[in-house]
């Protein structure tokens, strides 16, 4: 049973399209995150939700919109895709009270390629 | 701007060698320092979360130390094995914020 699962694993799409990446965790965690792996391989935080409330909203284009229908799901919707959006996007989750002991659990990533 | 720096960027060692890497982070408003192991084509896996100055943690042949006053952490691998080949990431957490700021990682390759 995968703890944090992202779909799709690979996404190739044309510029200008709108796409979504889904993330689900079955760990009972209360906090979920979206990270983007940039061109220098850094993992950069984009958004975080705690109990369905947006708590981190970094400086990302407003074409990116997260949605958390419940604690176990955090989706990322991207409008009007641009070439520069090509990257690997990682979802992660943690339990706020115990994240300082166990760390974050990551999904396996979604490789987005915009052509 | 908060920077987390890791060195070296990459490291090639022979099987059986012991090795260590460094993570430097801001020494003010420290809350926690995470270490992750990231194998190619997999997702990062948590190794350690360290919160106290002077903390030392160990998991098998891997151990880590923490100095929050000077802002650094060392990760040690004793007797490296080919299966230790991975990128080792550290991440800094400030105050009680939810945000983890990652370094770019040290890529370790252990030759048989």
Residue pLDDT, tens place only, B3-54 = 899 999 999 999 999 999 999 999 888 889 999 999 988 899 999 999 999 9
Question: Do the chains contact at B43 and A56, CB–CB below 8 Å?
Answer: no
DSSP assigned state of A54: E
**CA angle, B92 then B94 then B97, to 5°:** 115
Those residues whose C-beta lies under 8 Å from the C-beta of residue A98, and which sit 6 or more positions away, are none
* Predicted local confidence at residue A1, as pLDDT: 66
A23 touches A108 (CB < 8 A): no
Locus of tokens 């991207």: A78
Q: Which of B51, B99, B104 sits opposite A40 (nearest CB)?
A: B104
B26 vs B29: CA distance, rounded Å = 8
Q: What is the pLDDT of residues A45-75, one digit of tens each?
A: 999 998 888 888 887 889 999 999 999 999 9
pLDDT-based confidence at residue A41 (cuts at 50, 70, 90):
confident
Residue A96: per-residue pLDDT: 74
How many angstroms separate the CA of residue A100 from the nearest CA in chain B? 6
Q: What pLDDT does residue A100 have? A: 63
More confident residue, B64 or A53: B64
Q: Cβ separation of A48 and B49 shorter than 8 Å? A: no
Kindly tell me if the per-residue pLDDT of A102 is higher than 90. no
pLDDT digits (tens, 9 = 90+) for B74-111: 999 999 999 999 999 999 988 767 788 999 999 999 99
**A40 in contact with chain B, both atoms CB, cutoff 8 A:** yes
Q: Is A107 on the interface with B (CB under 8 A)?
A: yes
pLDDT of A115 > 80? The answer is: yes
Task: Round to whole Å and give the CA distance between A50 and A46.
Answer: 14
Cβ separation of B49 and A102 shorter than 8 Å? yes
Tokens found for residue B95: 């105050």
Which of the residues A29, A100, A102, A110 would you substitute to probe the B interface, choosing the one with the greatest number of B C-beta atoms within 10 Å? A100
> Nearest by CB to A42, which of B45, B48, B102?
B102
Q: Are B75 and B90 in contact (CB under 8 A)?
A: yes
């Amino acid at each position: 049973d995968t703890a944090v699962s992202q779909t799709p694993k690979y996404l190739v799409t044309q510029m200008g399209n709108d796409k979504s990446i889904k993330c689900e965790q079955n760990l009972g965690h209360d906090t979920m995150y979206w990270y983007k792996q940039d061109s220098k391989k850094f993992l950069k935080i984009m958004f975080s939700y705690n109990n369905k409330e947006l708590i981190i909203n970094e400086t990302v284009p407003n074409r990116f919109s997260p949605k958390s229908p419940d604690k176990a799901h955090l989706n990322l919707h991207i409008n009007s895709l641009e070439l520069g959006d090509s990257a690997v996007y990682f979802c992660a989750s943690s339990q706020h009270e115990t994240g300082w002991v166990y760390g974050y659990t990551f999904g396996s990533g979604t490789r987005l390629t915009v052509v | 701007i908060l920077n987390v720096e890791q060195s070296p960027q990459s490291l090639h060692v022979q099987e059986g060698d012991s090795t260590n890497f460094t993570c430097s982070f801001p020494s003010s408003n420290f809350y926690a320092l995470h270490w992750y192991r990231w194998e190619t084509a997999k997702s990062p896996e948590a190794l350690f979360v360290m919160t106290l100055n002077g903390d030392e943690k160990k998991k098998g042949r891997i151990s880590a130390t923490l100095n929050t006053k000077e802002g650094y952490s060392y990760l040690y691998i004793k007797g490296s094995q080919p299966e230790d080949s991975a990128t080792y990431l550290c991440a800094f957490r400030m105050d009680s914020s939810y945000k983890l700021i990652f370094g770019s990682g040290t890529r370790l390759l252990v030759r048989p």
